[in-house]
Structure 1
Amino acid sequence: MSTIFKKVRLQKVSEEIANQIRNLIKDGKLQSGEKLPPERIFSEMFGVGRSSLREAINILETQGFVETRKRQGLYISSLSKLIISDPLRQILEEDKEKLIQLYEVRKDIELASIMAAAEHRTKADLEKIKQILKKMEVDMKNGTIGLSDDLEFHLAIAQSSHNIFRSHILKNIFDISDNDLQYVINIMVGDKANIMKLFEQHQNVFLSIEKKDSSSARMMMAEHLEWVEQKWKIFIQQHSN
């Protein structure tokens, strides 16, 4: 019987760092696409040498939890990237009509997220959404709304639902359709009335979350997503074979 037991081994510093980062990702405290501190600052935060930190990062990169982007730094990876992969991106490139099916999945996730966010959001969650909305308001007054701000707004809501799978899968949906998303947003912001409508819809969503009114939040998000879906259908009609 003694052969089934192994001697206890003290955990290496690098493994302890890797476990800590994994747990922060699992708990939703580190989100997909979030940039991690530079190596020197990061090692000081842990109180360890750079070699131990590098070893931990290598472990996490191998496991797919983090990624190093050339000339940009270290980022949290999307946990769903193996679920939604390059072959699916290729399908969307070849058949634009499949974008509507992808948008349906996005709606399913976002409508579930908005209700959970309205119920479970924290003050910190609300402040994050509010800051994104403020930036969108400045852009609107300048006659535009950027894609990155729009996507950050929706991701912040998914993150506020405190379900890491929702936020990671939604981020990946955005990633594989980024070129088409940019094209559609360009169409919408070409009309000042659309820009104002887009901001108004985001503002209504925020106010419902702020009031913790889940039914109103869902209704506001559904109205927004259905309005955008009509823009998608126009885009697909123009680009389908």
Structure 2
Amino acid sequence: MFMAIENKKISQIVIEQIQEMIMKGELKDGDQLPPERVMTEQFQIGRPALREALKALEVLGLVERRHGLGNYIVNNVESNFFKPLSLSFKLNNGNVQEVLQLRYLIETFTVREAAKSATPNDVASLKQKQLQMMQAETPAEKSECDRNFHFEIARICNNSLILLTFENASYLLENFIDQTVHLSYFTKEDSIELIYEEHQKIIDAIEKKDEEAAVSFIVSHLDNIRPDLLHQI
């Protein structure tokens, strides 16, 4: 099942082999890994190195240790606190403009797909999130509702890879949206009302299944963001 390890940091190679087997479909969500004794024999490594690798995979959300049962492949990556895309972006000195470009790229696609496939329940969910934002009392609460609104559109488009990208970049997007909503709330009396109006136009276009209008409204919505007024992400 596993290959013996040579000439590299032992635990890292174990991690890479298990990740590669997941990518090839040889290991799937819910699969039980062999007992640790068997894995040490197959890898030809000591138990401390194996446990170090399994612990790292657990932190990544790929392995779960179940007491008395063993180690299992799981899909806890998307709920995991580790956000490699956000961390890499920060370490590469990414800027606010790049985050806005990512939003244009993702959201013009997701809103078009949402307009194609949204069900009445999906539209009702968007309307509920819009209402929650309008009823929220603080800028922080409104920011959370705004994030939920945009993430819901990504969910409706029914593309798991895009949704995972959105979630993986969640720290960057949350920070960006927080600042945008705070600026709207504090700079002009009617700025937050403009966000509500833009959201409503997007909802209406999705409900009417008008793809071009939905894209046009999301572009207008993003065009109103002033990245020059935002702090570094």
TM-score range relative to shorter protein: 0.5 to 0.7
Q: Counterpart in 2 of 1:40? A: none
User: 1:183 Cα deviation (Å)?
Assistant: 3.0
Q: Counterpart in 1 of 2:58? A: none
Segments of 5+ residues of structure 2 without an aligned counterpart are 1-26, 32-65
TM-score by length of 1: 0.60
Specify the code of the residue in structure 1 equivalent to 2:123: L
Q: Is residue 89–residue 177 contact of structure 1 (8 Å, CA) maintained in 2?
A: no
* Alignment partners' CA distance in 1, 2:211 and 2:155: 16
1:87 and 2:88 correspond = yes
* Alignment partners' CA distance in 2, 1:194 and 1:55: 55
Tell which deviates more after alignment, 130-139 or 193-202.
130-139
Specify the code of the residue in structure 2 equivalent to 1:233: D
Q: Is residue 132–residue 153 contact of structure 1 (8 Å, CA) maintained in 2?
A: yes
The structure 1 segments of at least 4 consecutive aligned residues displaced by more than 6 Å after TM superposition are none
SS of the equivalent of 1:18 reads: coil
Specify the code of the residue in structure 2 equivalent to 1:133: Q
Q: Counterpart in 1 of 2:124? A: 127
Would the alpha carbon gap of residues 173 and 234 (structure 1) be closer, same or farther in structure 2, given more than 3 Å must change?
same
Q: Which has the larger radius of gyration?
A: 2
Q: Is residue 113–residue 158 contact of structure 1 (8 Å, CA) maintained in 2?
A: yes
* Alignment partners' CA distance in 2, 1:178 and 1:90: 18
Specify the code of the residue in structure 2 equivalent to 1:124: N
User: 1:218 Cα deviation (Å)?
Assistant: 0.5
Q: Counterpart in 2 of 1:35? A: none
Q: Is residue 86–residue 169 contact of structure 2 (8 Å, CA) maintained in 1?
A: no
User: 1:81 Cα deviation (Å)?
Assistant: 4.3
Residue of structure 2 aligned with 1:107, choices 104, 126, 129: 104
* Alignment partners' CA distance in 1, 2:219 and 2:123: 20
Q: Counterpart in 2 of 1:66? A: 76
What is the aligned length? 171
User: 1:131 Cα deviation (Å)?
Assistant: 1.1
SS of the equivalent of 2:90 reads: helix
Q: Counterpart in 2 of 1:183? A: 179
Q: Counterpart in 2 of 1:165? A: 161
TM-score by length of 2: 0.62
* Percent of aligned pairs with the same amino acid: 19
Q: Counterpart in 1 of 2:37? A: none
User: 1:181 Cα deviation (Å)?
Assistant: 3.7
Residue of structure 1 aligned with 2:30, choices 18, 34, 37: 18
Provide the alpha-carbon RMSD of the alignment.
Answer: 3.2
Q: Counterpart in 2 of 1:210? A: 207
SS of the equivalent of 2:98 reads: helix
Segments of 5+ residues of structure 1 without an aligned counterpart are 1-14, 20-50, 68-74
User: 1:177 Cα deviation (Å)?
Assistant: 4.8
SS of the equivalent of 2:105 reads: helix
